[in-house]
Amino acid sequence: MNRAGHAKAKYFTGIEVEHTPALGMKTLFVIGVHSPIRIVNSAVDESCEHIYFGANMSFDGTMLQSWQDMIQHALDNDFWVTMDFDITHWTNLRYTFFRQFMNHKKFIPNISVKLPDLTMLGANATIKIDDIDFDETNKGVWCISKDKLINNAKFTGWQAYKDDTIINPEETK
């Protein structure tokens, strides 16, 4: 992800601005795979109550055991945990990687669906959440007009992401 000031960052802190159950929480954002103990220690040192894994689009579907270990250690230490992942990973990992966390009361799967230039679509555009095949895993399909989605969605503008503070986890205790 091309985000100014984050090229070499491993962790950064800030207030969660996305409209999830963690909205408004002091958050440790984790880019990539790191020591679960160091992550939790950093979150404690920074007085965070929420840890956001996969920050800056860093989850790539590899090193799954390491990701699981980080998430599990954070949940075991009573943190709220978000896992941000691209929709392309859901189909392959829904019965394996994510399964152990899905019913945890403090786990937030944040599924990223990229749809560039959404506002260019005309007034009749419809967003459809489909199944992998007819009557396969969902009870049907969900459709919403692009305009209704944009007007009713809990929008977060890019400006809200600019108050984060990059931290150096090697300096934490």
The mean pLDDT of 136-162, rounded to a whole number, is 87
> What is the pTM assigned to this prediction?
0.88
pLDDT tens-digit series, residues 61-116: 999 999 999 999 999 999 999 999 999 999 888 888 888 899 999 999 999 999 99
Asked whether 71 and 84 are in contact (CB, 8 A), the reply is no
The per-residue pLDDT of the chain, averaged, comes to: 90
∠112-43-78 over CA atoms, to 5°? 80
Segments making up each domain of the chain, as ranges? 11-113+155-171
Whether the per-residue pLDDT at 34 is higher than 70: the answer is yes
**Helix H segments across 46-167?**
64-76, 90-93, 146-152
Higher pLDDT, 8 or 173: 8
